[in-house]
Each structure stands twice: as structure tokens, then as C-alpha cells.
Amino acid sequence: MILTELQQLRKGSGLTAWKLQTVTEVRKAVARQLGVQPTGLAMGQLHAYLLYEINELGDGNRAKALRNAYAIGQEHRPGSLTTRRADFSLQIDRHADTIKAYENQALKQLAHRLATNSVLPAPLTMQSSDAMPVRHSRLEKTLQKSVIEGLGGLYELGSHAPEALRIFGRNDHPYLDANVECVLLPSARGEDWYTLRLRYIFQSTKAIFRIGVTSSVQDCGILMASGLFEEVTKLNEDADFDREVATLISNCRFVIHDLELGEQQALWFTELDPPMRRELLKDVWQLDTDTCRVIEVHIPEGHRAKPALFELQERCELRVDEHYAFWEAPGLMYLNTLTVDVSQFPAHEKWRFFIKPFLGTTFPDSLEANGDRFTLPASSWITAGHGVAIIWQETVERI
């Protein structure tokens, strides 16, 4: 019985994910809600869904009593069920037997919700724009609720806990085990120009890899925050878009490495036409769609189902007299290493270089130098806004 299993979950440390291995009827009920097979329901998803349904019971004394019985929000120090009841009875000035009655009433309501809520259709739907599966809104909400409550319990975030997820960005396909390399090279346009070559090697599950192109610092931030792009390239402010985008497309390559077969496949970017670009960006606020461009590459279906090893090679031409370059993470990324190489910069001997990472307090504030090549072994998560700045000044000879 669903109700009996829900009652058993109150004991000891309350509602924890590891306890859910024994609740077969609850698992079947939640699987029906989500339109999946019970065996395909992960323990974390089951736990998150129960938290969501419990939250939907409201903020009355019955619902509060059940949350207290399940030690929701008290995971760091749950105590025993008897202790939790005694503490809660003092909080609301009710007898412990009344608290237990509240719990049982809420449990009946929860069991009814699990048994009678409408069954959802197939567990995955398809987005026509990128042909990748997306989560049901209900399941996504349960996962978000679980994460928010967990973070709030760990870090005492108070009423600001719901905003904590924003730091991870809106793109739910992060770069995994990424190695990023920024190299400043001579340009065929002469000594007044240089080439910034970016090279990523990473794992991810993607159907489309999009790069936004803009000449505005503000638009660069807006495009990154939109969650629509895996990378954003900023051109010089007076850039000729037609020329620079054509150069970018000719210089960008996307490579899929098949480690099992020992093979690789190179893909080339194409630009979205204006109507498709406007449709893609129609919901992005404070952005003039005519001041940016979009290039993209479509990943073959055989490499979408599981994480694959990808390589992005990107080059853009920039002016030396701006005296700075930067790389900024476009979203959530697990960064293995970050490398900056300025050894081939045009007229290298004329310049003094400063490399400044801005990767948060968990990282060193400087890179390890090997000549004019700098490497930071990170091995940690970074988010949008983290990156590295490269600044150069003319060398002044002392008399």
C-alpha cells in the first residue's frame, strides 16, 4: 500500500533518497505520474518528485507537520522522529498526539495525490528547433525543488535559495572535462592585427552547437545569459559583420572524436539567415537582433544519445591597439585546464603581457608560466562570467 510505505518513511532520519529503494508501490505510483517504467525511474528523480508533491500540499499545519516528520529542511541534523515531533509541538503549541494526527492526515492527502493525479504522456518530448529530448515541466520542477532545498539547507540561503540555480546558467548541456586553450597569433592582415585562436576539447550531449557573434560587450553578456549559445565571439566595435562572419566561418571547425573506433569527423559552421535568427532571438530581451549574427553546426544523430568527445577550433581577427583580449566561459563548465599562449603575438618583443584569471576564490589568482605559455590546472566547475583576461602594454626602455 502506498500509504503504509509513506508512513514508514517518517522513521529515523526521515525522507532520504537511500530509503526509497524499498518503497515499491510509491515508485510505481510516481512512475505512472511521469509516464515511465518503474525500473527507469532514478532514485534522485523519485526523491525529487516526492518533495515536489509534499510542497504542493501547502503551508498549513498538516503539511508543516509532515515536512517536519520527514525532516525536510533538517537534513543536516534530523534527530529522531520523536524528537522532531516534540520540537514541532512546542513551535505551534499543540500536543504531540495532535502533531501525529496532522501527519497522518497529510499522508492520506499525499497518497491520494500519488494515486489519482492524471498520468502524463510519454516521458520525453521533442523540440523542433534542435531535435533533442527535454524533461517534462513537472519532473524538471521536482528536480529544481530538490536542488533548491538542498542548497538552502547546506548554505543557509534563506529566501534567496530559489535564485541559487541562476548561477548555473540556462543551458542544461554543460561542457564536461573541458580543456581550453587561448593562443594569440600573427594575422595575415598585418602587424596591426592579431589572430585569437580558441581550442576546446570537451564532452557533452548536444544536437546543435551555436556561436553568437557580436561587437558589443553588453550584447555579448546578453547572448551568453540567454542559454541559446554554447559560445559567443566578440568582434571589434567597428567590425564589418559580413566580412568577419565569413572569416569566422572559414576559420571555425567542429570535430567529433570517436574514441571507440579511433576515428574523427570534421563539421563546418553555417550562418542562420535573418528570419531564422530573429525567430531564435525573439524572446531575448534588450537585444537588437540586427546587431548580432548566429552560426551553428548540427551534430549527427549517432553522437547525440550519449556524451561524446568534441573539439572546437575557432579563430577571429582582432586589432592589436585594443590592448586586451579575454576568454569567458559561456556557461556551466567543468574545467580541467586553461592555457594561454602569447609567444607568437605580432612583434612580441615590443609588449609586456599580463594574464589575469577571474575564476573565483577557489582558483589561484595567477597562471603558472612556462616562457610565454601559461597553464592553470583547474579541475573544478566554473560558470558564466568566469574566464581569463590578457592585457598588453608597450615595453618602455629605461635610459
289-339 confidence digits (pLDDT tens): 888 999 999 988 777 656 678 999 999 899 999 999 988 888 888 999 999
pLDDT tens digit string along 2-26?
Answer: 999 999 999 998 988 888 888 899 9
What lies within 8 Å, CB to CB, of 27 at 6+ separation is: 20, 38, 41, 46
What's the CA gap between 273 and 8, in Å, rounded? Answer: 59
pLDDT tens digit string along 339-357?
Answer: 999 999 999 999 999 888 8
123 exposed, middle or buried (CB, 10 Å; 0-12, 13-18, 19+)?
A: middle
Assigned C-alpha cell, 38: 518503474
**Is 90 exceeded by the pLDDT of residue 180?**
yes
pLDDT tens digit string along 131-178?
Answer: 333 345 666 666 677 677 777 767 778 778 777 777 777 777 788 899
- Percent share of the chain, pLDDT over 90: 38
Domains and CATH numbers, the chain: 2-168 (no CATH), 175-394 (2.60.40)
What's the CA gap between 325 and 322, in Å, rounded? Answer: 8
**Is 70 exceeded by the pLDDT of residue 369?**
no
Q: What is the mean pLDDT of the chain?
A: 83
Mean pLDDT on 100-114: 93
Residue 304: per-residue pLDDT:
67
Residue 185: per-residue pLDDT:
95
pLDDT tens digit string along 56-91?
Answer: 888 899 999 999 999 988 877 888 999 999 999 999
Residue 9: per-residue pLDDT:
92
Residue 128: per-residue pLDDT:
35
DSSP state of 300: P
Determine the Cα angle at 116 with ends 114 and 122, to 5°: 80
- Percent share of the chain, pLDDT over 70: 88
**Is 70 exceeded by the pLDDT of residue 121?**
no
pTM: 0.64
> Would strands 333-341 and 175-186 be described as parallel, antiparallel, or unpaired?
parallel
**Is 60 exceeded by the pLDDT of residue 268?**
yes
pLDDT tens digit string along 308-317?
Answer: 789 999 998 9
What's the CA gap between 225 and 220, in Å, rounded? Answer: 9
Residue 157: per-residue pLDDT:
81
Task: Specify the 3-state DSSP secondary structure of 332.
Answer: coil
**Is 70 exceeded by the pLDDT of residue 118?**
no
Residue 138: per-residue pLDDT:
61
Whole-number CA gyration radius for the chain? 27
Residue 124: per-residue pLDDT:
35
**Is 80 exceeded by the pLDDT of residue 123?**
no
What lies within 8 Å, CB to CB, of 230 at 6+ separation is: 171, 173, 175, 206, 209, 210, 211, 330, 331
